């Protein structure tokens, strides 16, 4: 069960963030086997005072079109699958929404299975 946080600078198209989320979910479903309907996302748009980034960190030229994606998920996927996920997300955002590859910033946060409660005040995977 991934929890996806997507942060962007305020966009002129009010559907843009939601469309980004749809593409990210599709990429997770196809590359790291996220189950159907396992889609939980927090979409946030920020003004220029609340969206700070370095435009050249690590030699990558970023613009205000930056999309910051943080995915919290259960641990255990291989490095190869993670790399495929990064590539699939970046390429789909580029192809479908015109987001520059340089403007796709992804952070995975892996947690143990027992660190989730999906509702009802219980840890469904806690032993």
pLDDT of residue 93: 98
pTM of the model: 0.94
Mean pLDDT for 72-82 is 95
Q: Which residues, including other chains, have CB under 8 Å from residue 26's CB and lie 6 or more apart? A: 92
Residues written for the chain: 127
Q: List active site positions.
A: 2
Report the distance separating Cα 52 and Cα 85, nearest Å: 25
Please give the average per-residue pLDDT across 102-122, as a whole number: 90
Instruction: Give the confidence band of 23 by pLDDT, cuts at 50, 70, 90.
Output: very high
CB 69 within 8 A of CB 28: no
What's the Cα-to-Cα distance from 82 to each of 30, 66, 73, 110, rounded to whole Å? 12, 20, 11, 11
The pLDDT of residue 115 is 83
Q: What value does the mean pLDDT of the chain take?
A: 95
pLDDT of residue 47: 96
């Amino acid at each position: 069960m991934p929890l996806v946080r997507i942060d962007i600078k305020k966009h002129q198209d009010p559907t843009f963030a939601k469309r980004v989320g749809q593409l990210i979910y599709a990429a997770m479903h196809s590359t790291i086997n996220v189950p159907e309907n396992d889609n939980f996302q927090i979409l946030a748009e920020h003004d220029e005072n609340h969206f700070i980034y370095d435009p050249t960190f690590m030699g990558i030229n970023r613009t205000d079109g930056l999309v910051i994606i943080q995915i919290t998920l259960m641990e255990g996927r291989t490095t190869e699958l993670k790399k495929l996920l990064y590539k699939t997300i970046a390429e789909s955002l580029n192809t479908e929404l015109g987001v520059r590859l340089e403007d796709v910033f992804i952070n995975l946060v892996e947690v143990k299975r027992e660190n989730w409660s999906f509702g009802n005040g219980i840890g469904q995977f806690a032993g």
